């Protein structure tokens, strides 16, 4: 049983070390290993952005994505073998990192950090009132990352709601689901977070019709995917005051081009797709090894299997 690692920009040796520490009998291969026969490969661990044609490996049992988002991989369905499960990365390391990002930017909004940076640049001493009531946060996408972020925000006494495709229950997050409940969810969200996967249904979902349903002056934080945002509509909502600010980690084009209006917009914070980076760490390696062991024992993957019909 061999695992083939495909990535141009992930730390191959660190991934090898983490995986072999947990599974010493793992036969870790790279495309450069000239002795590899294609029929020796049982598992592929791939960067969705740099995934080659995987139809040439007849004994492939599963494809692991190095990232939580697999939209780039599903765009290449013609180079994916049929009937081989694709398993996206689920890791407490990813969830914690994303939670830190969301807590940081919700607190920045609550505590007027953007305004104080701007005032500071002008030597301006001007205290701003902090909302007395609990600020309401709405998280679109209440999956692995969204729910973890919601729990951390609720622990800080933000009033948190989430919106998902199917019905959910949580002791600390008020759950909304489906198109019918979207308006009610949006109308209470002073901070709107997106942690939605990119699918045909979520493409362009953040347009002016949706953003205008938020309370005036809302803050929008997007760490889902850039193609979910209609950029001209977002700028229009910021310029009109419908939105007070936006924090954007993902973009239609990455890296964000130097001449893009988002860079210099006074109400936009840009981060370079680093809200939660996939790293070769023990938690992520454990996830992969647990799934390999389950499949090798004759079972199926534990969770994280992509449903091609849903698109995530
Ligand atoms: N910026 C970064 O650094 C970074 C890092 C990692 C991931 N991401 C992004 O975060 C996304 C989410 O990751 P995850 O691990 O949390 O995924 P996940 O566990 O699959 O959760 C996805 C959530 O979105 C909901 N959803 C999907 N389509 C929907 C729709 N049409 N309407 C309503 N809800 C919908 C799902 O609803 P159900 O629960 O009903 O299925 C689920 O709650 C990834 O796909 C990726 O794009 C970004």
pLDDT (tens, 9 = 90+) of the chain, 312 residues, equals 799 999 988 999 999 999 999 999 999 999 999 899 999 999 999 999 888 899 999 999 999 999 999 999 998 878 899 999 999 999 999 999 999 999 999 999 999 999 999 999 999 999 999 986 679 999 999 999 999 999 999 999 999 999 999 999 999 999 999 999 999 999 999 999 999 999 999 999 999 999 999 999 999 999 999 999 999 999 999 999 999 999 999 999 999 999 999 999 999 999 999 999 999 999 999 999 999 999 999 999 998 999 999 999
The β-bridge partners of 41 are 2
C-alpha to C-alpha distances, 302 to 97, 125, 294, nearest whole angstrom? 23, 55, 7
Give the distance (Å) from ligand 1 centre to CA of residue 117: 32
**241 CA from centroid of ligand 1 (Å):** 28
**Pocket test residue of 93, 144, 161, 195 for ligand 1, highest count of atoms within 8 A of CB:** 195
Longest pairwise C-alpha distance within the chain: 68
Respond yes or no on whether the N-terminal peptide bond of residue 31 is cis (omega within 30° of 0).
no
265 included as an active-site residue: no
Q: Is the CB of 276 under 6 A from ligand 1?
A: yes
User: Distance between CA atoms of 29 and 39, rounded to whole angstroms?
Assistant: 13
Ligand 1 touching residue 244 (CB < 6 A): no
Does residue 225 carry a catalytic annotation?
yes
90 Cα: distance to centroid of ligand 1 (angstroms): 11
Centroid of ligand 1 to alpha carbon of 177 (angstroms): 13
The catalytic position among 76, 260, 273, 279 is 273
User: Using alpha carbons only, what angle is made at residue 111 by residues 110 and 114, rounded to the nearest 5 degrees?
Assistant: 100
pTM score of the predicted model: 0.96
């Amino acid at each position: 049983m061999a695992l083939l690692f495909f990535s141009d920009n992930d730390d191959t040796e660190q991934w090898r070390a983490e995986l072999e520490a947990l599974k010493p009998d793992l036969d870790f291969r790279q495309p450069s290993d000239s002795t590899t026969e294609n029929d020796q490969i049982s598992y592929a661990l791939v960067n969705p952005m740099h995934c080659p044609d995987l139809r040439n490996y007849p004994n492939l049992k599963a494809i692991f994505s190095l990232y939580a988002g697999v939209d780039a991989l599903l765009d290449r369905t013609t180079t994916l073998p049929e009937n081989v499960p694709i398993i996206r990365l689920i890791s407490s390391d990813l969830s914690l990192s994303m939670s830190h990002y969301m807590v940081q930017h919700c607190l920045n909004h609550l505590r007027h950090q953007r305004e104080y940076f701007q005032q500071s640049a002008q030597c301006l001493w001007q205290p701003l009132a902090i909302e007395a009531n609990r600020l309401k946060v709405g998280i679109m996408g209440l999956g692995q990352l969204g729910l973890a972020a919601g729990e951390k925000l609720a622990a800080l006494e933000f009033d948190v709601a989430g919106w998902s495709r199917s019905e959910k229950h949580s002791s600390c997050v008020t759950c909304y689901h489906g198109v019918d409940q979207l308006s009610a969810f949006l109308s209470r969200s002073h901070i709107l977070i997106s942690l939605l996967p990119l699918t045909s249904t979520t493409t362009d979902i953040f347009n002016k019709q949706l953003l205008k349903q938020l309370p005036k002056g809302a803050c929008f934080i997007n760490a889902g995917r850039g193609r979910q945002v209609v950029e001209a509509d977002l700028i229009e909502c910021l310029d009109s005051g419908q939105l007070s600010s936006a924090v954007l980690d993902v973009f239609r084009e990455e890296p964000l081009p130097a001449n893009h209006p988002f860079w210099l917009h006074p109400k936009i914070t840009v981060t370079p797709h680093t809200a939660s980076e996939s790293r070769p760490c023990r938690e992520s390696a454990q996830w992969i090894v647990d799934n390999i062991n389950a499949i090798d024992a004759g079972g199926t993957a534990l969770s994280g299997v992509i449903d091609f019909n849903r698109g995530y």
